[in-house]
Chains A and B, each alone.
Chain A
Amino acid sequence: MSDTTLGASFRDPSGFLFRRSGVLYRQVNVSYREHYDHLQTSGLLKRLRADRLIIPYDEVDIPPVTPSAYRILKPQPLEFVSYPYEWCFSQLRDAALTTLAIQRRALACGMSLKDASAYNIQFHECRPLLIDTLSFEIYREGRPWVAYRQFCQHFLAPLALMARRDVRLNQLLRVHIDGIPLDLCTRLLPWSTRLNFGLFTHLHLHAAAQRRYAARGTPDGQARRTPRVSRRGLEGILNSLEGAVRRLRWKAGETEWADYYDFTNYTSDAQEAKGRIVDRFLDKIVPTSVWDLGANTGRFSRLASGRGIPTIAFDIDPAAVERNYLECRRGDERMLLPLLLDLTNPSPALGWAHRERMSLVERGPADAILALALVHHLAISNNVPLPRLAEFLHTQGRHLIIEFVPKSDSKVRTLLATREDVFPDYHEESFRAAFAPNFETLESERIPGTERTLYLMRAK
């Protein structure tokens, strides 16, 4: 029996995640017993489950990893683990509101969140859920909210930067694994944010308070007394944080890609024909999971998710991902998860010993990959040689539905208009040759009304 403890949960003395025979479990340590029992007896767990705010789990009777175990939990598995730097604005905003909603319920049941990490939230069936059952502690009257700073760093700061400065600043979360430092955030925010009560209080004033008191030594080596905060004061802070988050808005404007479908060189007939071919290929391979790389707003991803196949729709454009997510939410589309990803610089392994946050590659492979209207961007705009592209896709998918876009296509001509054509090998024959070592072509079909061809391949 070989157990693998997960690198993301090593900081918490209350317990840890481990994998045994491919199944994910969470060990709750004896040291957390009082809090864990209170979570059950206070009715908080029941309430969070009823409101679909926490990942469902079962207590199981299996041998523990260490003698310090109190309980072993088997959480419902997630289709895909995503990270805040892969979320669009509304995903991060919804995750923030979910965290506050959980904290409100916790306070009502005599508990409080001791962690407000964005990494404790995951999207499951298109809804943000708390995945860390050990995030609660019994609330002691008068104690401040210990996770207040973390909430501001993980949620309010990036949301404010995205809404009030530039939506791409969510990528700071990739660098700052415990959220964006508030002094950095306030330096980047426009001065006008000081006129917003919530942002002024929880970001600007907060950063100033950190600066001022961080430098003050404890007098005569005595421990500083923890300040008292009334329950009503905590409610006021939660109201204020929620108001600040709700007032932050970002509208997906006209970016390069968000209006792509309106400005393609496809006729609507060709688009429909392409959809029919993808449909047919999906029916042929019946994949158990799909990654759509370069999904834009998810038109073709929905051909997979509409069949009940768990589908991740990756795109580089924050506006396209935002639109896709809002559409998922409106339609309660549970099988589709839109995420932000730059395929030329995908999410790396991060944190202590590179084990806290998984790279994209570690989270694969998918059963099938859709790579529609993508190859020319990677090969021509980003100089990725076709054999290297084939090698990468081979590591990430067992099946591949890929579209080859030739140089004669108007989109490729546009890409080549301002650069020297140093791609003599970019043609369909070399494309097939580049993929042949890694993939077996099952079928190919020209998309009617275009010069493009769709290939269905299987990894060798």
Chain B
Amino acid sequence: MKKISVLLLLLCTCLLLANCKKNSNEAPRPTVPLPEDKYGSLLIEFAHKAGADTFGFNKNYINSSGETFKVNTLQYILSNFKLRKKDGTEITLPNTYFLVDPSVSPIIAINKVPEGVYTGISYLVGVDSATTAGGAKTGALDPVNGMYWTWQTGYINFRMVGTSPASSYSTKVFDYDVGGFIAPNQTVQFVNHDFMADTLAIRTDALPFLHINVDILEFFKSPVDISIAKVSSILDSGADAVMAAKNYKDMFSFQSIRN
């Protein structure tokens, strides 16, 4: 009799435990993250320029076609940041999507960067295809930010709006919304910087600053000169958007690191 009672009690306990376990299987708790002290943060400042000058909104600049223009809106999405070590190994920084708008802030912060010494960084100007084709997002990719085309799937990867006497419109506006994520209209650009002799040290007790130059004059040149008179607007995906994207790929260049 005693044996049976012990068996029964064991069975009861098992049932209760099994019940708990089953539920946890259905909704697993997040896996235990690596200890916090192995991660640091990184600030990246985008230093906007117009050639040798510091960029400012509504200031006159001259592009490679000799056209005077002013910019009143500059916004772009950067994503899929990766840091590179001296031995060539790459660390992917997950969920790195940023909407950069220098009228709001030219600085982005990447948290949860593994500690280490890095010799280079890469990222995408624009949003990768898989994420673009996915479901509703929040944060930098929330369509409420106005960087999303609603009639045709796709993020506006890069936007520059302003005025120029050269514009073909009576309002003298130029308006570039550059996007497109499916070949042959793919506009997402891969940008890679080597830190040369410099290194970026990610530590828990420091907040390093990476400075990247963004030269808006590059939008209008190399590989192709874009004339505001000839192309006063780009408002959907297509050949013009692809041409602009190839140009703005080299807007971004490494400047300096402050560890």
Chains A and B are bound partners: no
Give the interface of B toward A (CB within 8 A). none
